[in-house]
């Protein structure tokens, strides 16, 4: 099993907390050049950088420079992630990628060209059927520069997201579900997220209020995890039932898909299409996660994600998308008119068909076990116990 592979590495829960922190710091470091470039241009234009919202910042620079600097943060994040898995978890690149003895690059290339051809074909068909919705955007020199940037950095961006969500977090959350305090920790994290979302929705919030909020959440966490009543709670029938339900492969699948989708909430598409677009983002996360669990590796999700973003960046752009590039075409249609079909058709029709085709090609079996089976720690030889880290109670 793909998730169970993490048991053969240093998989203590605190390592994943430290690892995520290091990776996030790496991403923020990678964002420094982009932020600096935006600030410099704003000052030159006589504008206050603090007045630029997220949507404006993502399209403020020259498209090729903007794309390069945006993707640079993901490249730095990918380096940080690979260093974390190698040195903090003693996990090989192959173990993080697949349950096979070697990475199957044929799978990566197959799905890359399979989806690349299909997605490009759909754009071309739509262009000839509704030419009024498109504007020719092709300029040779900027397009050549775009190709160089996109071919190098887009796969790094998509690989970072796949290794983070379908790899590192999928395995990390999966192995953590065997600890008895996992439901308690998950509940506390959800509470913190809800409180933060509520506080961020307030029109005015003082610095003092923010500090008090942090201290109260911290104190609540200390109280919960050190209370004398915790053992009694964890031995209750209700808690054991919840623990039994969550100790499944579906738990990391759902959590990583939800987080993957919610992290796209700052994209310009959300502002243009509304919160309904989250169905597409979360649904895409579920699609890639199912693909990973059923195929016992990330090869297919790596290839699909790379093809999806790369061919999109080269073929078509729009004023309301995250990737605004010197692509061949520019979509001039009103996205609100086709929002429902663009969101629901891929998630509920196209993705299931692709999963069906892949299941036939790669002869997937045991759907129930792979998607909803219980997470089990494989038996270790006595000689291995001293050299391999064990999951400890949270």
pLDDT, one tens digit per residue, over 249-307 is 999 999 999 999 988 887 777 777 888 889 999 999 999 999 999 999 999 999 999 99
Per-residue pLDDT averaged across 101-113, rounded? 97
- Number of other residues whose CB lies within 10 A of the CB of residue 177: 21
Is the confidence at residue 39, as pLDDT, over 70? Answer: yes
Task: Choose among 183, 176, 370, 175: nearest CA to 289.
Answer: 370
pTM: 0.89
Q: What is the pLDDT of residues 306-363, one digit of tens each?
A: 999 999 999 998 877 777 889 999 998 877 766 778 889 999 999 999 999 999 999 9
Task: Choose among 17, 58, 38: nearest CA to 271.
Answer: 58
Strands across the sheet containing 134-136:
134-136, 329-331, 316-317
């Amino acid at each position: 099993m793909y998730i169970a592979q993490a048991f053969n590495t240093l998989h203590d829960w605190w390592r994943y907390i430290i690892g995520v922190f290091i990776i996030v710091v790496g991403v923020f470091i990678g964002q420094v050049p982009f932020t600096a470039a935006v600030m410099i241009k704003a000052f030159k234009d006589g504008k206050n950088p603090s007045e630029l919202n997220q949507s404006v910042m993502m399209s403020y620079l020259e498209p090729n420079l903007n794309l390069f600097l945006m993707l640079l943060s993901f490249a730095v994040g990918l380096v940080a992630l690979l260093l974390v898995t190698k040195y903090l978890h003693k996990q090989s690149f192959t173990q993080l990628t697949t349950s096979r003895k070697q990475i199957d690059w044929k799978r990566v290339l197959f799905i890359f060209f399979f989806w690349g051809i299909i997605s490009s074909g759909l754009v071309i068909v739509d262009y000839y059927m509704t030419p009024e919705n498109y504007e020719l955007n092709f300029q040779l020199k900027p397009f050549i520069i775009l190709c160089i940037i996109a071919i190098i950095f887009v796969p790094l961006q998509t690989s970072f997201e796949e290794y983070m969500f379908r790899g590192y977090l999928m395995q990390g959350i999966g192995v953590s579900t065997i600890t008895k305090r996992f439901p308690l920790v998950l509940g506390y994290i959800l509470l913190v997220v809800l409180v933060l979302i509520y506080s961020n929705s307030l029109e005015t919030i003082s610095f003092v209020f923010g500090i008090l909020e942090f201290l109260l959440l911290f104190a609540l966490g200390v109280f919960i995890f050190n209370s004398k009543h915790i053992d009694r709670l964890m031995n209750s029938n209700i808690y054991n039932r919840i623990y039994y339900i969550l100790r499944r492969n579906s738990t990391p699948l759902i959590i990583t898909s939800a987080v993957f989708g919610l992290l796209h909430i700052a994209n310009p598409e959300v502002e243009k299409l509304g919160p309904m677009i989250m169905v597409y983002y979360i649904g895409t996360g579920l699609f890639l996660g199912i693909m990973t669990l059923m195929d016992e590796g990330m090869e297919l999700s790596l290839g699909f994600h790379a093809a999806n973003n790369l061919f999109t960046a080269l073929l078509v752009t729009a004023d309301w998308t995250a990737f605004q590039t010197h692509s061949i075409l520019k979509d001039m249609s009103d996205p609100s008119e086709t929002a429902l079909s663009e969101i629901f058709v891929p998630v509920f029709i196209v993705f299931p068909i692709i999963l069906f085709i892949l299941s036939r090609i790669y002869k997937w079996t045991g759907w129930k076990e792979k998607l909803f089976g219980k997470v089990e720690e494989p038996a270790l030889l006595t000689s291995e116990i001293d050299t391999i880290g064990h999951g400890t109670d949270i």
